[in-house]
């Protein structure tokens, strides 16, 4: 007979379950306890890793490129409309809002691809290091800082070269 459990903390989320010998166990991401409805007590659940499919660096690059392009596709028409209003309400059709979008879209795709891939790479290094705790609160800070550093090393010379060529 399957016993039913509810999560001890309402703010936790159920991210998986496993059925062994007609018992259902809920795994939570922020609590190691579940409440057994029949016995009205808390039951400690062993920490088990939820296995996700391995994300490759190529997938990180593609996801970053798509996200950068999507940001420009959504934001560029609003920026163009704002500039037109500031210049005195010049008009144009709907398709004119998308003019000049190729350069910002390609740059945003490249920048976000670098950010996503460097964050993913540093995150994989963090997870495989035996000295570091895999789900530490510092992981996002350290990996995000690393990806920001890598982004600066690539973007700053490119922007400097762009401005240098403008004034020659």
- The alpha carbons of the chain give a radius of gyration, in whole angstroms, of 24
Q: What is the mean pLDDT of the chain?
A: 76
Instruction: State residue 37's pLDDT score.
Output: 52
Task: Name beta bridge partners: 24.
Answer: 19
What the block records as the tokens of 168 is 């020659």
- Sign of torsion over alpha carbons 124, 130, 133, 135: positive
Residues 6+ apart with CB under 8 A from 69: 105, 108, 109
pLDDT greater than 80 at residue 19: no
Percent of the chain at pLDDT > 70 equals 68
* Lookup: tokens for 18: 């496993």
pLDDT value at 3 more than 90: no
Burial class, 166, CB count within 10 angstroms (exposed 0-12 / middle 13-18 / buried 19+): exposed
Task: Say whether pLDDT at 167 is over 80.
Answer: yes
pLDDT class of 11 with cuts at 50, 70, 90: very low
pLDDT above 90: percentage of residues in the chain: 37
Q: Which two tokens stand for residue 50?
A: 């939820």
Please report the pLDDT score of residue 134 as a whole number.
Answer: 73
Token representation of residue 21:
């010998």
């Amino acid at each position: 007979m399957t016993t039913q459990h509810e999560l001890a903390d309402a703010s936790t989320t159920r991210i998986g379950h496993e059925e062994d010998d007609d018992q259902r166990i809920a795994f939570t991401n922020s609590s190691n306890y579940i409440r057994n409805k029949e016995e009205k007590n808390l039951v400690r659940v062993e920490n088990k890793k939820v296995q996700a499919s391995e994300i490759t660096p190529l997938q990180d690059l593609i996801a970053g490129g798509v996200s950068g392009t999507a940001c420009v596709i959504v934001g560029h028409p609003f920026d163009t409309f704002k500039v037109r209003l500031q210049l005195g309400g010049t008009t144009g059709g709907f398709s004119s809002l998308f003019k000049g979008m190729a350069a910002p879209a390609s740059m945003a795709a490249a920048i976000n691809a670098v950010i996503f891939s460097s964050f993913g790479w540093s995150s994989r290094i963090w997870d495989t290091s035996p000295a570091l705790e895999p789900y530490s609160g510092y992981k996002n800070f350290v990996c995000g800082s690393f990806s920001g550093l890598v982004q600066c090393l690539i973007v700053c010379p490119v922007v400097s070269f762009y401005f240098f060529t403008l004034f020659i």
